[in-house]
Structure 1
Amino acid sequence: MTTNEPISVLYVNDDPELLRLVSTRLERERDHLTIHRAESVEDGLSILRTDDVDCILSDYHMPDRNGLDFLRTVRAEDDEIPFILFTETGDESVASESISAGVTDYIIQETIGNQSTLLANKITTHVEHIRARRAAEYTNRQLRDIAETTEDVLWVFSADWSELRFASSAYEETFGHSIEELRADPQSFLAQVVEDDRDRVQRAMHRVSDGEPLQIEYRVNYSDDIRLWVESRCRPGFDENGDLDYVAGFTRDITEQKSHEKSLVLKNEQLEQFSSTVAHDLRNPLNIADGNIDLAREECDSQYLDIASEAVSEMAVLIDELLALAKEGETIDERSQVGFEELVQSGARNVVLDATRLDIQGSATLECDPSRLREALENLLRNATDHGGEGVRVTVGLLDDGDGFYVEDDGVGLPAGKGEVIFERGHTDSQHGSGFGLAIVDQIVDAHGWEIVATESSSGGARFEITGIDSLSIESE
């Protein structure tokens, strides 16, 4: 496929008439060809030194120095420029010497007939081949420069992992193993993988060779006393026929990330254990207090007992919320498909919100951690009953665009200008509130990868919208 970009050709022939005729015919044959004429090898060399020339077309039989001498002189300085020998003779010895000297093409000149089409095609093909190769080499240099700017190991192997096609220098810094050794034995990197992880890595390699992209974490022995955690992401590559041709990917050092994760898990376990212990120690005296209040009611009727009972109930809620908040930073458990209406009704039962004050609009299924999402719904419903006022009605429904759901009430609404701060831990406008309920909701929504915003309902109450739920499947009525 030609591009018709300008091509400058040097044509050398000691016959002025033939030089003019061939040059004219070539320029008429292809508009993008420009012919520089020279009647001797010396004139041709002079033009080469002063002008940009993309291709050389030369006669063989010339006085003083012939075309083969010209070829050898050119190749001593430039082994790439296309050189076409256009000669009247079909002498095999000349052809053999020309090939040995590095001729690009060898064309026998016909006595009768116009060969300009053949010559133009040959010239264009050889020049565009050189240009394409140079462009590819330049692109490769750019890609290599990019590869060397990152600490990640960039690599390309053949589809069966038997040939290393590319590896950035970061490989040596990550695996403690030279690229030369890897090139000689493309699977030698496996020797650096910790033995307990090696079989898993090999299975992953087979899966990629079968056409499956994947991500895997494993350990590498950088040296006798240094062990690293790395993550490899790879994908199969296919040729123009759709056949698997290579596997490409990158490997990065995640040792620091793993250490941080391990530290975080330990801290979360310690925090949860501490919270559970404290909650246990608090619940015992609360249970005693609650039981004694009930006993006291049997002996007398006093408003102070009601106040004390309310305080005990608030303390129980506060303990539950503190335990939930202790899970902050944990990832959600395994997701499963659950019914939206079922989750809402379950949360309402725990808040003691009866059907006369709860309206569920729409039916759908979604993929989530059921226990944690139920906890979030409970907190939103409890927030409505606690802050909405006596007799508040709550509506839970699906958003019109199918992106999520909402929980709204017809109560007093959100405090002015506090749509964002209400999700902060410890923030509350109630004398008896803990300020943790909505913070827990925000944490659970974020752990699912969703978003929550607080706004005003159509009746002036509070409205919470949870969006970004890709797995939400609305059921038709």
Structure 2
Amino acid sequence: MNDLVSGGEASDEIRVLHVDDDAALGELVATSLERVNGRLSVETVQSADAGLDALADETFDCVVSDYDMPGRDGIEFLRVLRATHPRVPFVLYTGKGSEEVASDAITAGASDYLQKEGSIDHYGVLANRIVTLVEHERAETTMNDAQRLFSELADRTTDVLWLVSAEWEEVVFINDAYEDVFGQPRERLEANPRAFLEPVAPGDRERLEAAIEALGEGVSMDIEVGVVTPDGTTRDIWIKGEPITDESGTVTHLGGFTRDVTERTERERELASAERQYRAMFEDPNILVGVLEPDGVVRDVNQTAMEYIEGDLDDVLGEPFAETPWWGDDDALRADVDEWVARAAAGEYVEFEADITGTDRMRTVSGTFRPVRDDDGTVTAIIVSDRDITERTDRERELVRVRDLLEKTERIADVGGWEIDAETMDVFWSENLFDILGIEGDEEPPLEGALDVYHEEDRATVANAVEAGLEDGESFDIEVRFLTPTEDVRWLRVQGVPVLEGGDVVTLRGAVQDVTEQKRDERELMRQNERLEEFASVVSHDLRNPLNVASGYLDLARETSDSDALAEVGRAHERMNDLIDDLLTLARTGDHVREETALDLASVAEDAWRHVPTGAATLEVASTTTVYADRSLLQQLLENLFRNAVEHGSAGPPSPTPAHAVEHTSTDSRREGETGADDEGAVTVTVAARPDGFVVADDGPGIPAEARERVFDAGYSTSESGTGFGLAITERCADAHGWTVRVAESERGGARFEFTDVRTS
């Protein structure tokens, strides 16, 4: 049985078991004790065995037993009793007392020894002995229970429980939790009561020492400090201490507890960080933020969100979010908002993108509905946040439009695009490039595989160009052959341009165009030119041989005759030679210039002037410029213009009619018979630069307005001596450069040839 057989306050009943073989005396003792002290309740039995049975069945606070009884005497009864009830108070109450019996009783574990007497005062003494013994036992039991509970608490708690002397020189009590919190053995603290200061973070040590000193002076301590553990981590601890004083108020001991609050402080820091993040997000001028109740009612919104609508904060607080002005009058969108709120209220993280009403236009936003839960996991609020992505979506739409335009342009121009990542060497081909190469699918090959599409004789050319582009940042423009899947050979023009960042090539990109037909046309044109050259040479040879024979006979005839007819034949021969020269020049003038160089207009003009029989004519270079042209063609152009001006602008035998003057005559602003030449009949030719080209003008008779449309026709001439090919050659030279030529009247009434679309600098 429990040693604490009964307990309670001083007013509680005390149950007494009285064992005496004399029944009458037993009744007398019981009655007397109950009369003397009303707290006592006495039950009497007549033998030790009966007493043991009673104790086995019931609870008693004290046992009073006679010594001399049949069977077991009082001391034997006590010995048996102590085996099961070691702490119950036991009074040996006998009329046959002796010092020997008393000694044996105390040795056997009796609480007290008292001899029987008959006076009423004697029963008062016995009652007092019983009450004193029971209350002492109850107090000890209570103290032991408290100590046991405290010890159990100290062993089980993770808090450090401590009690030290007032001067902090002796550790009265410390539990095992100290070693876990401070990382030191208890023995170290017991040897040095201030050893716990050693692991305290240096920045907190002085503050803790001041608090300890104040505690010794009677001031409560409540402080949080950091403790550096043996593994180098810092943990936060909370120390709470109180002074313990005696009856005079003098501090005798210091006691308290120390608790590891690292997790709490970490949570507090996390909460503070989350609060700062929330405030930063809430105050972010680029983010629209709102806080909703789980049912979607607006609890708060930030200023940024309010800038998107007309109205005040009070107009939206307390309103269902879906019914606020941000969503306009779009019922379908409002229904979506209600759905998003419901999903978030159910714990889902909802992402959305929508068009909302702005003060200036519809704005596109992208955001989230984020549920906020309490410790139980219940959604207590919803945070809705979004960003204005209008500009981004506008750019994306524009990008889609540009890409679509680029794809269509690629297909119309039959051009494909490509790109190589300089770091990964990944290859990208546009869709049209797959079509140009005749490759099915949409997966680009690796770089080596991409080079395999080219003709084996041209792969090195492409590889070297790509390598130079990636390593040295060089652009390239090459024409190479490639093999179609059906083994057809086609020509590609491949262009590449490096993209640089910080001086390094990050990408090499370019375009591919199928120029097979162009190459065929070029070869056909070359063959035609070769045939034309062959034809011109044959014609020249076949015409000049008979002409030379005729000229020889003409010379023989002149030796024997000086007939005017022979002179006419000579002039006819000269005209035929001029025609042959001009025809050859016209045939050999190309359609375009392959290479242009920077030329000084004045220098070329002066060279051309020296190659023309100019007589008394004068060249004036009014201004010059740098012209990008083929020097041979430019000089030929100027020579023809100079020759035309000199031959048809100088004074000579009058023509039968003004209309039969050389290749350019004019009656626009002159009286019949007038010319612009000086009194001696010399013409002045002027060369001048203009912003987009140059001008060649003279002061001769000019070209009639009605003839200006035909002067460049091959074979057209109003002169009997002209071949009609000079100005045609001039136009051919201009066309080969991509220039435009126009005929007008000069300031002096002569011919003015204006050349525009000329590349100058």
TM-score norm. by structure 2 comes to 0.48
Q: Give the conservation status (yes or no) of the 8 Å contact 2:558–2:566.
A: yes
CA deviations over 1:293-336 (Å, ceiling 9, x no partner): 34444443332232222211111111111111112444336444
Residue 419 (structure 1) aligns with = 708
| Residues 3-22 of structure 1 mapped to structure 2, 5 A cutoff | 12-14=292-294, 20-22=298-300
| Residues 397-416 of structure 1 mapped to structure 2, 5 A cutoff | 397-399=687-689, 401-416=690-705
Residue 368 (structure 2) aligns with = 83
TM-score norm. by structure 1 comes to 0.73
Note if 1:261 corresponds to 2:526: no
Percent same amino acid at aligned positions? 30
| Residues 347-366 of structure 1 mapped to structure 2, 5 A cutoff | 347-354=608-615, 356-361=616-621, 362=623, 366=627
Task: List gaps (5 residues or longer) in structure 1.
Answer: 41-46, 59-64, 99-107, 110-118, 473-477
Residue 729 (structure 2) aligns with = 440
Q: Give the conservation status (yes or no) of the 8 Å contact 2:290–2:300.
A: no
Q: Give the conservation status (yes or no) of the 8 Å contact 2:298–2:320.
A: no
Question: What's the secondary structure of 1:417's corresponding residue?
Answer: helix
Aligned-pair distance for 1:13? 1.7
| Residues 117-128 of structure 1 mapped to structure 2, 5 A cutoff | 123-124=385-386, 127-128=387-388
Question: What's the secondary structure of 2:300's corresponding residue?
Answer: helix
Question: What's the secondary structure of 1:196's corresponding residue?
Answer: coil
Aligned-pair distance for 1:27? 5.1
Q: Give the conservation status (yes or no) of the 8 Å contact 2:589–2:732.
A: yes
Q: Give the conservation status (yes or no) of the 8 Å contact 1:11–1:36.
A: no
Question: What's the secondary structure of 1:284's corresponding residue?
Answer: helix
Note if 1:192 corresponds to 2:480: no
RMSD: 4.2
Q: Give the conservation status (yes or no) of the 8 Å contact 1:232–1:250.
A: yes
Residue 456 (structure 1) aligns with = 745
Note if 1:228 corresponds to 2:487: no
Question: What's the secondary structure of 2:720's corresponding residue?
Answer: coil
Question: What's the secondary structure of 1:459's corresponding residue?
Answer: coil
Note if 1:395 corresponds to 2:685: yes
Question: What's the secondary structure of 1:230's corresponding residue?
Answer: strand
Residue 162 (structure 1) aligns with = 425
Residue 71 (structure 1) aligns with = 348
Structure 1 residues 306 and 187: alpha-carbon distance in aligned structure 2, compared to 1, 3 A threshold = same
Q: Specify which structure has the bigger relative contact order, considering alpha-carbon pairs within 8 angstroms and separated by 6 or more residues.
A: 1
Residue 404 (structure 2) aligns with = 145
One-letter identity of the residue aligned with 1:440: I
Aligned-pair distance for 1:271? 0.6
- CA distance in structure 2 between the aligned counterparts of 1:35 and 1:147, rounded to whole angstroms: 49
* Equivalent position to 2:567, from 306, 331, 349: 306
Aligned-pair distance for 1:257? 1.8
| Residues 36-75 of structure 1 mapped to structure 2, 5 A cutoff | 38=320, 50-51=333-334, 67=344, 69-71=346-348, 74=350
CA deviations over 1:187-237 (Å, ceiling 9, x no partner): 522111112222222233234434444433222211243222122334334
Q: Give the conservation status (yes or no) of the 8 Å contact 2:625–2:760.
A: no
Q: Give the conservation status (yes or no) of the 8 Å contact 2:742–2:755.
A: yes
Task: List gaps (5 residues or longer) in structure 2.
Answer: 1-282, 310-315, 323-329, 355-364, 652-680
- CA distance in structure 2 between the aligned counterparts of 1:293 and 1:169, rounded to whole angstroms: 74
Aligned-pair distance for 1:438? 0.8
One-letter identity of the residue aligned with 1:308: V
Q: Give the conservation status (yes or no) of the 8 Å contact 1:12–1:37.
A: no
Aligned-pair distance for 1:76? 12
- CA distance in structure 1 between the aligned counterparts of 2:613 and 2:406, rounded to whole angstroms: 60
Structure 1 residues 408 and 297: alpha-carbon distance in aligned structure 2, compared to 1, 3 A threshold = farther
Aligned-pair distance for 1:136? 5.3
CA deviations over 1:422-455 (Å, ceiling 9, x no partner): 1122222223433221111111112123222111
Q: Give the conservation status (yes or no) of the 8 Å contact 1:57–1:86.
A: no
Structure 1 residues 348 and 52: alpha-carbon distance in aligned structure 2, compared to 1, 3 A threshold = farther
* Equivalent position to 1:31, from 283, 307, 310: 307
Residue 428 (structure 1) aligns with = 717
CA deviations over 1:162-195 (Å, ceiling 9, x no partner): 1235x3322222112245441x524522111112
Question: What's the secondary structure of 1:438's corresponding residue?
Answer: helix
